[in-house]
Amino acid sequence: MSTEYEMNRRRLMKLFGLGAGASAATMLAADPVLGATIGYDESVGFDPTTYRAPSGLAQDNPAKSTALGWIGRNASAITGLGDQVWRHAELSLREWRSSLAHAELLRSHGFTIEWGSAGFPAAFVATYGSGGPVLGFNAEYDALPGLSQKSGAVTHDPLVYNYDAYGPTYGAGHGDAHNALGAGATGAAIAVSKAIRQHGLRATVKLFGSTGEEQLVGKPYAVKAGVYDGLDAYLDWHPFSATLANWGTTAALASATFTFLGAAGHGGTPLGNKSGLDGALLMATMTEYLREKNVAPSGRFHYAIINGGGAPNVTPDMCSIWYFVREGSPARVKVLYDKIVECAKAAAQASQTKLSFRFNAGTWNSLGNRAGAELLYDNMQKIGAPAFTDADQQFAKSLQKALGKPEVGLPSTVVPLTPPAPTYLGGPSTDSADVSWHTPTITALITTFPAGVPNHNWAVTAGAAGNIGHQALLSAARYLSATAVDLITQPERLAAMKQEFADRTAGVTWTSMVPDGTQPPIYEPPADFLAKTGQQWPPAGITWPVPQVIAREQLGTTGPDLPPQT
C-alpha cells in the first residue's frame, strides 16, 4: 500500500475520531455503516494502488443490440420527454404533468402503471415482464426553485421572472437536470423491455417514478413502505460535469423545519412584540457557532428562511427555517442534528417565542458496489462518451466564462474507473441511498453540463433541454440498458453483485431515519390529475387537511403592569 494512500487513510480515521492507528475493523465496530462503505475495500484486502478496471465483462449479444438499436431509432421520443418535463419545471412533490408524461410513454410501450407509491400522488411504479431477475430503474422529474433560465442562453436570463416591487423572484427550473435524468432512465427501461420481448428473456423491469428527490423525501418513505422490496439490482444515473462510474458513497442527510411563533405588532412601536423572525435568525446565528468545534470535515448543514415576514412595519408572528444536516453516516447525522435542535430550543427561549418543529425526511449515505461499477464501466467504455458538437463546446465555454471558470468546454472521454478516495470529506446526498441498502445498486454520472458549473445553477438549466442534455440522457439510456441486459444474460455478473452486497451489509441493519408515524410533506393534486391516475384524496394514512400551525402567543411587556387609570 502506497505511503500517500496510508497517510490519507490515517487522516480519515483521525477525522472520524478513531485514532491514527485505527483499521477498517475499528471503523466497522465504531460505525458499521462507515465500515460497509468507506471501510469495506480495506477489510477485504483490496489494494487501490494497483487497481486496474477489468475488461471483458460487458458482452455483445443480440438482446443488447436490440436495446441499443431501439434507443437509436427512438432518440427523438426520449429527448422529447426530457424537453417536455423541462418546460413543465414542476417543484418537488407537485410534479403532476411531469409524472404523467413519463407514465404515458411507458404505458404506450406495454408497461403497467401503479400510482401513488407510499401515498405520494406523483410517484408510480411501471412494470414490464415477469420472472427472472427483477431490475429497477430510477426516474426523477422535479425542478428547483429560483433556477428558471432560457434554454441556450449563455448569460443569466430567467425564462420566468416574477415582478414584485419589493422583492422580485425567478421561477423554477431544472438546475439539476432531472428532466434528463427521468427521460434517460425511462428510455433505458423501455429499451430493456424490447430486448426481453424480442428475445424471450425471463426478466422483470420496474421503473420507479420518484417524487420530491430534490427535497430528499420520496424514496425514504417509499423504501420504508416496502415499495422497492424484491429487486435484484437497481440502476441509476445522475447529471454531472464528467462521465464516469464509481462505487463511492454520499452523505447521509436529515431534513427538518423549525417554526418560531410569536405575537405580531407594529414595527414603529415594537415594544412587546414577539418576532418569529428573531427566533429563526437567532437559531441561524447559534448554529453558525457549531461549525468550528462541532462539524467534522465530512459534515455539512445549510438552511433557508421560508417566511420571514411581508413588510418591515409588521413584526412577523411566524417564521420557519428549514435545515439540511449531512454527515458520513446516519449515526453521525444524528449527533450533529441533535445539537442543531438544541440551538432551536435556545433560540425560542431567547426570542420569547414558541418552537414548533417537524422532521421532514432522512436518508442514509449510499452503499456502492464495485462489481456493478466495473460492469457499468466496461459498457461505458464500449459505447463511448457522449458525443458533443463544436457548437456544444462553444456553448459550454460561454457558460464557463459567464461564471468565471476556465473555458475548457466539455470532456470527450469516459473517466477511468478508480477506487473511492480513502478520505471522505462530505458532499451531496441522494435519496436513492436508502434503496442501495436494500439491493445492489449501480450508479453512473454523465456529462450534462460543463466543468466548473455546479449542480443547482442556472447554467445547468440552460443546457438541460439542448443538445448537451440530449446527448447525456441518450448516453444514460445506452449505458443503463446495456448493463441491465448483461445482468439478465450473464447471471454470474448479477451473482457477484449480490454476493458483494451481502458481504458489505453483514452486521448492518437498515433502519429508516424517518420516525414511525411521521406524515411526509405532501400537496393535494389537481382534480384532473387524480382522475387521470385513478387516485383518491387523501391517500390512506394521510391526515388532511394538515393541522394548522398558528401563533397564539401573548404580547410581552417591558415592565410591571400598571394599575388602570380611573
Are 327 and 390 contained in the same domain?
no
- Low-confidence stretches of the chain (pLDDT < 70) are 1-28
d(CA 563, CA 560): 10
3-state class (DSSP) for residue 23? coil
Are 418 and 457 contained in the same domain?
yes
Are 342 and 393 contained in the same domain?
no
- Here the CATH number for the domain that contains residue 314 is 3.30.70.360
Q: 209 with 123: CB under 8 angstroms?
A: yes
Are 428 and 298 contained in the same domain?
no
Are 378 and 303 contained in the same domain?
no
Are 472 and 415 contained in the same domain?
yes
Q: What is the DSSP code (8-state) at residue 502?
A: H
Per-state percent for the chain, helix, strand, coil, to nearest 5: 40, 15, 45
Strand partners, 245: 444
Tell whether 4 is covered by a domain.
Answer: no
Identify residue 506 by its one-letter amino acid code: A
d(CA 316, CA 307): 9
Task: Count how many domains the chain has.
Answer: 2
> What is the residue whose three cell numbers read 487522516?
11
- Here the CATH number for the domain that contains residue 456 is 3.40.630.10
Are 138 and 264 contained in the same domain?
no
d(CA 203, CA 189): 12
Cis, peptide link before residue 422, omega less than 30° from 0: no
d(CA 447, CA 405): 17
Strands 265-266 and 314-315: antiparallel
Q: 143 with 90: CB under 8 angstroms?
A: yes
Tell whether 69 is covered by a domain.
Answer: yes
d(CA 137, CA 129): 14
Examine the fold and report which residue of 329, 356, 383 is the final residue of a domain before the chain moves on: 356
Identify the pLDDT of residue 560.
Answer: 87
Are 193 and 86 contained in the same domain?
yes
Phi, psi of 169 (to 5 degrees): -135, 165
Note the helical H segments in 132-177: none
Tell whether 415 is covered by a domain.
Answer: yes
Are 178 and 129 contained in the same domain?
yes
Are 141 and 108 contained in the same domain?
yes
Strands 233-240 and 134-140: parallel
Examine the fold and report which residue of 505, 530, 546 is the final residue of a domain before the chain moves on: 505
Tell whether 544 is covered by a domain.
Answer: no
**Domain boundaries, position 233:** 50-249+365-505
Tell whether 178 is covered by a domain.
Answer: yes
d(CA 249, CA 40): 11
* CA-to-CA dists, residue 553 to 256, 262, 350, 355, angstroms: 23, 5, 15, 11
Taking residue 398's Cβ as centre, other Cβ atoms within 10 Å add up to 18
Q: Shortest CA distance to 84 belongs to which of 106, 68, 100?
A: 100
Q: 367 with 433: CB under 8 angstroms?
A: yes
Tell whether 518 is covered by a domain.
Answer: no
d(CA 230, CA 132): 12
Are 222 and 78 contained in the same domain?
yes
Identify the pLDDT of residue 562.
Answer: 80
d(CA 78, CA 185): 9
Q: 458 with 464: CB under 8 angstroms?
A: no
d(CA 514, CA 532): 31
Tell whether 548 is covered by a domain.
Answer: no
Phi, psi of 467 (to 5 degrees): -65, -30
Identify the pLDDT of residue 27.
Answer: 63
User: What's the whole-model pTM score?
Assistant: 0.95
Tell whether 535 is covered by a domain.
Answer: no
Q: 491 with 181: CB under 8 angstroms?
A: no
Are 381 and 235 contained in the same domain?
yes
Examine the fold and report which residue of 505, 520, 545 is the final residue of a domain before the chain moves on: 505
d(CA 235, CA 138): 7
d(CA 67, CA 63): 6
Strand partners, 323: 256, 303
Q: 366 with 33: CB under 8 angstroms?
A: no
Q: Shortest CA distance to 481 belongs to which of 63, 57, 53?
A: 63
d(CA 182, CA 205): 15
